């Protein structure tokens, strides 16, 4: 298991300084802000800095519209085009892949056509259909779409890890994998460790935050049992900090890394 951190959390006025600080704090990787990669100069800067650093790009978060199952075909296509572009970015930067959320609750949604099919069933079928072609593109590039279920307050398209795992298993492609976010799981899952063990065969990336959505170790989530479950399923990927911070990054980030390292040992 390796620790990563979203670039926006790292102290520093430049990307190079952020990377140097994360190295100093004990991180293994950095989760890139997708919005920055759409800028040619910023993309080149990140590619060059990472080329000369021990720190690796773990993943990419954001930068394109999350509307894979939007009822409007044009908006779905814009999302598909964005994900395809970010799969190429991931391949060039050495990241596992972009994190993909099918849709957020505030967006327009497919209708409920019960008793034929519920909205959840329609979104599942549409998502699988759309991801098939993207999975092929990901495979060719040696990267993966990291499918993320969110809690019900942000999106009920994939409310549980089991719903995301069902999509991944149905596609049966290394180009689509499950992303497990501890904060969302703390809201939706009865037992985070049990869920990890049930879905461990398809989990390739993890997001870390405590119940307060601040850094791990600042709240009440039982990280010892979560890390043990990840060990039990032989998880070897990155776990990226996606959270707020309870204090200055230069203080709380190394403290949180030390806390997690102790539990991992």
- Consecutive 10-residue runs of the chain (265 residues): their mean pLDDT? 97 97 98 97 97 96 95 96 98 98 89 90 96 97 97 90 97 98 97 98 98 96 98 97 97 98 94
pLDDT at position 247 = 97
Check: CB of residue 178 under 8 Å from CB of residue 171: no
Q: CA angle at residue 263 from 253 to 218, to 5 degrees?
A: 45
Would you tell me which CATH number, out of the four given (3.40.50.2300, 3.40.1410.10, 3.20.20.70, 3.20.20.150), belongs to the domain 2-264? 3.20.20.150
pLDDT, residue 156, reads: 86
Structural domain boundaries of the chain? 2-264
pLDDT of residue 151: 92
Q: Given this model, what pLDDT does residue 20 score?
A: 98
pTM: 0.95
Q: How many other CB atoms sit within 10 Å of the CB of residue 113?
A: 11
Nearest to 84 by CA among 124, 150, 141, 31: 141
Half-sphere exposure of residue 150, counting CA atoms within 13 Å on the CB side? 14
- The H or E element containing residue 166 is helix 161-171
pLDDT of residue 107: 80
**pLDDT of 252:** 98
Q: What is the DSSP letter of 7?
A: G
Q: Given the DSSP bridges, would you call strands 99-100 and 145-147 parallel, antiparallel or unpaired?
A: parallel
């Amino acid at each position: 298991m390796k620790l990563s951190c979203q670039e926006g959390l790292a102290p520093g006025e430049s990307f190079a300084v952020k990377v140097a600080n994360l190295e100093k704090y004990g991180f293994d990787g950095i989760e890139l802000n997708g919005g920055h990669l759409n800028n040619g100069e910023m993309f080149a800067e990140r590619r060059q800095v990472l080329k000369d650093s021990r720190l690796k790009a773990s993943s990419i978060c954001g930068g394109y519209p999350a509307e894979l199952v939007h009822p409007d075909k044009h908006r779905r296509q814009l999302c598909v085009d964005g994900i395809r572009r970010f799969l190429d970015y991931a391949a060039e930067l050495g990241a596992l892949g972009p994190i993909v959320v099918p849709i957020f609750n505030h967006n327009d949604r497919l209708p409920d056509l019960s008793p034929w099919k519920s909205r959840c069933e329609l979104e599942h079928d549409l998502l699988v259909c759309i991801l098939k072609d993207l999975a092929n593109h990901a495979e060719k590039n040696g990267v993966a779409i990291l499918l993320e279920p969110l809690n019900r307050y942000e999106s009920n398209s994939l409310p549980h890890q089991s719903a995301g795992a069902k999509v991944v298993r149905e596609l049966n492609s290394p180009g689509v994998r499950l992303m497990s976010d501890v904060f969302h799981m703390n809201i939706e899952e009865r037992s985070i460790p049990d869920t990890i063990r049930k879905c461990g065969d398809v989990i390739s990336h993890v997001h870390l935050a405590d119940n307060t959505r601040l850094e791990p170790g600042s709240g009440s989530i039982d990280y010892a049992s979560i890390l043990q479950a990840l060990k039990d399923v032989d998880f070897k990927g990155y776990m990226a900090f996606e959270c707020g911070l309870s204090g200055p990054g230069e203080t709380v980030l190394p403290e949180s890394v030390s806390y997690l390292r102790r539990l991992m040992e």
